[in-house]
Amino acid sequence: MSDAAVDAAVFRRDAIEAFRFVRRSFDAATGEAQLVYAFDDGVALVETLQFPGAPFVLDAARAAAVDRALGLLHLIAGVSYYKAAVPKTLRVESQPLDADLAALLVSLYENGLGEFAYRNGLSLRGNINFIGVDADSPSEVRSPQFHHTLSSSFPRMRESSASALLESATAKEQRQEEALDSRIRGNDEGRLREDGDGADFGAASNASAASATSATSATPATPATPAALLVPAAPSRDAQNNAAPHLALRSHALTAIGGGKDSLVSIETLRSLGIDQTVAWIGSAPLIRACAERTGLPQLNITRQLSPLLFEYNKQGAYNGHIPVTAVNSAILVLAALLHDADQVVFSNERSASYGSLIPGTGEVNHQWSKGWDFERDFARYVHAHIAADLQYYSLLRPLSELAVARQFAKLDRYDAHFSSCNRNFHLLGERPAQRWCGVCPKCHFVFLALAPFVPKPRLTAIFGRNLLDDAALAPAFDALIEYRDHKPFECVGEGRESRAALAALSQRTAWQEDAIVARFAREILPQLDPADLELAPLLAAQGEHGVPPALWNRVHATFAA
């Protein structure tokens, strides 16, 4: 499609009745995949991905698995386009739609678009209907009635201060909303990764996506340790009837790298255990490439070109906002693993990712839902049951808190001048490598705070270029991190109790206790908190559900406990 044709495309958001998954294709000779979507009978939106290493020689079983993985990717990646209009009907024309797949998709679209729906004043729960139309008569799958459970992590407080800590959250939320820059107010492709590191590695699309007209078409478990339990796949009847084959994949990990501390901890942990691995990322971010090169390991860089029509639709009033890009990247790497003969896809999402922001009057909204355990568990089960029985998808850091990951990273120093968890380094339209840490976003604030109890002060300030805890103007930002008169920011940051525990620990250390943020915390906030909720040690223990293979977890757990 020409530039003129893109410009001429008409998008009437509120008149759209259905979002269509039209078709998908993969060329083993070139490594190019195309994912085709459309609204109603409109012009096709065509996304293109390029997998390095072609030509791929695939036997019949491997080719069939690749096709199944491509189908899964097609349905998951559609979330980037569906959100432009959010019609109630989603028509799957490209493949059969079984109950397992429908349940996975409904959960992903409803929960993964939770922040998007909240910011746009939309109600998606119970309003997402996937309809399979490949059979003789369409088979409709309606959204099940999910029961959403709130999980507050706020500590026990002295009764007289509980209301004070929560007051004016709504007013501060409004100010925060007004101050949001285009990286969040724009579409998911306004920045290259959803929330930082590990799961959200690399680009949601290439920086040239807006001009990539060639990408468009006019065609309309068993227990592991007492502290952390492995949760086994529990295939449904559909899965049992359509059991995926063993493909005899080689023992090799594709490890997602995002340029931040989390993925680097995973990479170095696997290296220390002698696990063969390739570091993988999506997009063209120079910072991620620099970190990947710094590892000295084999690299796999996949490109993703979004349809230029999506950008044009944004100009015409499309809904936009945050999407579960971790889910998209997970599906991309599952496909890549099959092409490159790897039996593991490894992400670096910790247990803190499973906890969202508690919004007064709304409930829990999790910015990083697709980095959480619910998605990891369900996606891994589907891959095991329907794609390849010997392909394992898991997060190596799932049993760890953000603070526990920070403690592990503090043991490394080879990446100090290379890593960054600051999302402002990952905007779509151009990199800013000279500003690895902007110092003003919640990610910068939280990572600085999380590392401070474990990294010597001179080293930490050298990494960030300044001491973020000695800037009184940042008090409101740190208040949000500890959930003091505000909710946790819509970013991939740790739980409020982690931030409170970190500040409490720093308030007892001579090197930090006179810094503005720490001193104010000790003076104004600490007296309102229960000391029992401020201990670091419980937060550093590995615990909770995870999907790390048992034999590997026993070794990893010993490493993390050291």
State in Å, rounded, how far the first CA of the chain is from the last one.
57
pLDDT band at 181 (very low <50, low <70, confident <90, very high): very low
DSSP 296-337: TS-EEEEEEE--HHHHHHHHTT-------HHHHHHHHHHHHH
Say how many residues make up the chain: 562
pLDDT value at position 125? Answer: 86
Tell whether the model's pLDDT for residue 265 goes beyond 70: yes
pLDDT value at position 425? Answer: 65
Instruction: Look up residue 209 and give its amino acid.
Output: A
pLDDT band at 228 (very low <50, low <70, confident <90, very high): low
Tell whether the model's pLDDT for residue 317 goes beyond 50: yes
Tell whether the model's pLDDT for residue 136 goes beyond 70: no
| Mean pLDDT on 233-239 | 50
Report yes or no: 113 and 43 within 8 Å, Cβ to Cβ: no
Element (H, E) at 512: none
For tokens 């503005």, name the residue. 516
How do residues 68-114 score in pLDDT, each as one tens digit?
A: 999 999 999 999 999 999 999 999 999 999 899 999 999 999 999 98
Tell whether the model's pLDDT for residue 149 goes beyond 80: no
% of the chain surpassing 90 pLDDT: 65
In angstroms, the CA 372 to CA 453 distance is: 25
How do residues 503-558 score in pLDDT, each as one tens digit?
A: 999 999 999 999 999 999 999 999 999 999 999 999 999 999 999 999 999 999 99
pLDDT value at position 487? Answer: 76
In angstroms, the CA 489 to CA 511 distance is: 27
Tell whether the model's pLDDT for residue 316 goes beyond 70: yes
pLDDT band at 263 (very low <50, low <70, confident <90, very high): very high
pLDDT, the chain, mean: 82
How do residues 124-134 score in pLDDT, each as one tens digit?
A: 988 999 999 75
Q: How many helices (H) and strands (E) does the chain have?
A: 22, 15
pLDDT band at 157 (very low <50, low <70, confident <90, very high): very low
Three-class secondary structure of residue 441 per DSSP: coil
Q: Helices 373-382 & 99-112, crossing angle to 10 degrees?
A: 160
Tell whether the model's pLDDT for residue 179 goes beyond 60: no
Asked whether the whole model's pTM tops 0.85, one would answer no
pLDDT value at position 436? Answer: 85
For tokens 């003003």, name the residue. 440
Q: Helices 496-506 & 442-451, crossing angle to 10 degrees?
A: 50
pLDDT value at position 415? Answer: 96
For tokens 């120079």, name the residue. 286
Report yes or no: 469 and 516 within 8 Å, Cβ to Cβ: yes
Q: What's the Cα-to-Cα distance from 85 to each of 11, 23, 184, rounded to whole Å?
A: 9, 20, 18
In angstroms, the CA 433 to CA 287 distance is: 7
How do residues 398-443 score in pLDDT, each as one tens digit?
A: 999 999 999 999 999 999 999 998 877 655 444 454 578 999 889 9
Tell whether the model's pLDDT for residue 168 goes beyond 80: no
